Structure 1
Amino acid sequence: MTRTITVGLDGSSESLAAAEWAAREAGLLGLPLRLVHVWEPVPVPMAQAPLLGVETQAHWTERIPREAADGIRLRHPGLEVTTEQLSGHPADVLAHVAKDAELLVLGSRGMSGIGGFMVGSVGLSTVAHAERPVVLVRAGEQAADEHEMDPAGIPSAATPFRPVVLGLDIESPNEELIEFAFAAAARRKTSLRVVHGWNPPPYYAYGLAADLELHGALARRETVALTEFLHPWREKHPDVEVTEESHYGTPGNHLVDASREASLVVVGRRIRRNPFGTHIGPVAHAVLHHSAAPVAVVPHH
């Protein structure tokens, strides 16, 4: 079965922005785009209310995905676009359809006046349970936002892509996560910016603030370790320019800072079999809520 770029569509500006981003990504990957609208059945008493009649239901289950697909076909000629209507709890349905997707793309509201997302319960639950990569796109995301500035200081789709940013823990790295980031940078013909955050072992912590020499030695050790770790990946992907940064402190904060100049931020999430709760890890959680760029969460064991 050919994998698709799948979008969870609900008619909101966030999901329409996600669909537009997904269409561009489908074009880069040469894959079809699948728009999935999930309709959650309402309780019988509510379903019988005059405002929730047949016409309203038809609008949500047919008109929204159809109109979204028509618009995407006009803006992306040649792209194969399909629509599908499913019923059930949105987070459960989206996590299920993600199994057949190369990527699942969802929308998130941008925080007014603050760079970043507002990730709702459906988005968090889907990210926590999907076993394929999930990308969250903020409302209002435009193609130009992913590109460098032109000579006039304006981002344009005619200028190169901004770097892809990868959050990397060299203590427990995952090949799927790293490969995803390199591939994303390669198809955008842009560089990969690898950001590694580190904290000293507990027995160093108390003396570190007063001992600049010790801090410098630990920083150099982390920098060398990052360079050595990335060496085989540079050889495997010689066409991708790699820049690396090793920072003292919380990794999530450094990734949020890097997101302001990124076309995509890539973070990992360890797959857990616990059916309760939305376990996505502190770094992914911080980036999802505060990134200024689209975020790809790549699940791994």
Structure 2
Amino acid sequence: MTAGVDGSSESRAAGRWAAREATLRHVPLRLVHAVDWPLDPVFPSLGRQDVDRWADRALTDATQELRIRHPRLEITTRCLSARPAAALAAEATEAALLILGSRGLSRLAGFLVGSVAMSTLVATDTPVVLVRVSDDPGSGSGSGSGVIVGVDIHESCDPVLAFAFEEDDRRACALRAVHGWRMPPAYTYVPFYDPDNERDIDRSVTNMLEDVLLPWRRKFPDVNVSHSVFAGSAGDHLVQASRGAGLVVVGRHVRRSVLGTHVGSVAHAVLHHAAAPVAVVAHE
């Protein structure tokens, strides 16, 4: 397991979350700091030795804090001279999970996803968790309970469901699967519009979601899973559900082309506005 560290409060929150996760998984934790040298011209007074000392201090401080909290956890560090997004994406290939920090705007506003975090996210197929700074600095981030997972019933999203069920099984908490659907915009204007049709669609979508979840219920019989289907924006509903949750899990399509977006609208909304850590799981 790997966490990005840069000395900021956001990365310290990510480190605390990563240490708890590594303890749950019984795996070692690697803390990575990447420096893009030479630095931006706005820092002309900083020499290479100054940067190296600062990087070493960031890693040392993070390691010492986490070893106090988790004395049995094996922690290693690595300092790289490379563009942070590229370095973190490369490190992620050797990890089961990459954890990064995001700036918390407020309890309601949620994340401000920086360019490094977003660039890293789309450059790796490894699941990435973005962690905001907790309102309580002493408790770390993601102290809520329960796992929320966004489910696409129209496409295979097995990696997303596998991650959510496995994570919930480790935490022994409630799992809630969420799916949103929309009526075609023009449908409400046709003369033969019948509100009963909307209820029929809702029942049909609910049945489809239950079918998607059934094999995972059987594979993880100890997971307490519920589900909800609603008409409207899936992103908005997941953001609302994130309040009080311990983790929100969303998927993103793996896109090999350099053109077009690499994060869908639902994942984008959740990344920028969720009030809980967000795990983004790539899938075909």
Gaps of at least 5 residues in structure 1 are: 149-161
The count of aligned residue pairs is 282
**Where do 1:234-249 residues align within 5 Å?**
234-249=217-232
Identity %: 48
The correspondence for 1:96, drawn from 90, 95, 101, is 90
Post-superposition offset of 1:140: 2.8
Does residue 1:271 correspond to 2:267, yes or no?
no
**SS of match in other structure, 2:97:** strand
Question: In structure 1, what is the Cα distance between the partners aligned to 2:175 and 2:140?
Answer: 19
Match of 1:262 among 227, 241, 245: 245
Letter in 1 for 2:229: S
1:38-57 deviation line (CA, Å, top 9, x unaligned): 0110269778x4x2125421
Which of 59, 64, 68 is equivalent to 1:65? 59
Q: CA RMSD in A?
A: 2.2
Q: For the structure 1 residues 43 and 234, does the alpha-carbon distance in structure 2 shift closer, same or farther, using more than 3 Å as the test?
A: closer
Aligned to 2:13: 17
When residues 55 and 240 of structure 1 are mapped into structure 2, their CA distance, relative to the original with a 3 A threshold, is: same
Taking the aligned partners of 2:199 and 2:39, their CA distance within structure 1 comes to 62
Select the residue among 232, 244, 247 that pairs with 2:215. Answer: 232
8 Å CA contact retained: 1:135, 1:294: yes
Q: Which amino acid aligns with 1:200?
A: M
Which residue among 116, 136, 157 is the counterpart of 1:174? Answer: 157
Deviation at 1:235, TM superposition (A): 1.2
Quote the Cα distance in structure 1 between the aligned partners of 2:275 and 2:191. 32
Give the letter aligned to residue 13 of structure 2: A
CA distance in 1, matches of 2:47, 2:78: 21
Runs of 4+, deviation exceeding 6 Å: 44-47
Cα contact 1:33–1:79 (8 A) shared by 2: yes
Tell me which moved more, 168-177 or 26-35.
168-177
Match status 1:79 vs 2:85: no
Work out whether residues 234 and 266 of structure 2, in 8 Å CA contact, stay in contact via their aligned partners in 1: yes
Counterpart of 2:127 in structure 1 is 133
2:183 equivalent among 200, 209, 215: 200
Are residues 1:114 and 2:97 paired?
no
Shift of 1:166: 0.4
Deviation at 1:293, TM superposition (A): 0.4
Q: Structure 2 stretches of 5 or more lacking a match?
A: none
1:20-35 equivalence runs, <5 A: 20-35=16-31
